[in-house]
Amino acid sequence: MDAKRLAVAIILSLLTLQTMTSCEEGNLGIDDDLGHRATDVEGWFFRAAYVYPVAVTFEPVVLYKDGDYVEVEDEPVEGIDEAADRRERPEAWGTWRKEGDNYYLTDYEGHTEDYQLGSESWYPAYPYMDDVPLATGYVNSTGGDYGNGTHALFQTRIDSPR
């Protein structure tokens, strides 16, 4: 893995640190009737999404052991009320399968997309390790010209503890 991909993987992994730490410590904090539990997670991935006009963002995707997947927003996996979330955000849910290095995700409408590791659009998330030194901060900027004189700039800043 080249240095650029390693850096991207480390930076993206910071986004999952809170949820993964809760899983490892057993702090699930959910009722059985909410659906999947954090212990049902097969893996965390980030999907590169290209946003108009020229921006890239990374969407966290959780693959469950039973073949379901969900695109995660702000709430940790342990707190998702699956039934309510499926009603409110059906487009965030689907099924997945893996063949070799390819992951096939089928959305709620039945459309299947394939993602291959190392294809520049599908990245595994790794838990944070103290022995890997990180920069003190990371800034992700998106935005652009949206037409009719509308311009936007969005920034997300992640600071790692030192």
Among 19-23, 45-49, 105-109, 118-122, top mean pLDDT goes to 105-109
User: Distance between CA 97 and CA 69 in Å, rounded?
Assistant: 10
Average pLDDT of 37-51? 82
Residue that the structure tokens 């390790």 belong to: 129
Say whether pLDDT at 18 is over 80: no
pTM higher than 0.75 for the full model? no
- Is the preceding omega at residue 133 within 30 degrees of 0, hence cis? no
Give the C-alpha separation, 126 to 128, whole Å.
6
- Examine the pLDDT at 135 and tell me if it is beyond 70: no
Domain architecture of the chain: domains with CATH: 3-26+34-128 (2.40.128.300)
